[in-house]
C-alpha cells in the first residue's frame, strides 16, 4: 500500500521542497502553520509516487 508523503514548498524558492515524511494530513497542516509564522509564502505539497503535487483546498477541508 502506498502512503501519501507531505512536504512544504515555497513560492520564493521553487523546486526547494522540505519533505515532512509520511505523517497524517492533520500533522502536516500543523507543521505548515508553524512554518508560515516565519515564511508566509509556504504551502503544502504531497506525493504518493515520485512527483510532488500541490495539496489543493478542493481535496481537503482546510481551515
- Cell 526547494 found at: 16
What is the per-residue pLDDT across 10-42, written as a single tens digit (0 to 9) for each? Answer: 989 878 999 998 888 899 999 999 999 999 999
- With bands split at pLDDT 50, 70 and 90, how would you rate the model's confidence at 59? low
Q: Which residues contact 13 (CB under 8 A, 6 or more apart)?
A: none
4 has a pLDDT exceeding 80: yes
Give the SS3 label for residue 59.
coil
From the number of C-beta atoms within 10 Å of its C-beta (0-12, 13-18, 19+), residue 38 rates as exposed
Phi, psi of 6 (to 5 degrees): -110, 155
Amino acid at each position: 500500500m502506498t502512503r501519501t508523503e507531505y512536504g512544504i514548498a515555497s513560492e520564493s524558492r521553487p523546486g526547494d521542497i522540505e519533505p515532512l515524511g509520511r505523517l497524517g494530513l492533520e500533522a502536516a497542516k500543523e507543521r505548515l502553520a508553524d512554518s508560515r509564522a516565519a515564511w508566509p509564502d509556504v504551502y503544502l505539497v504531497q506525493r504518493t509516487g515520485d512527483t510532488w503535487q500541490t495539496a489543493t483546498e478542493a481535496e481537503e477541508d482546510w481551515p
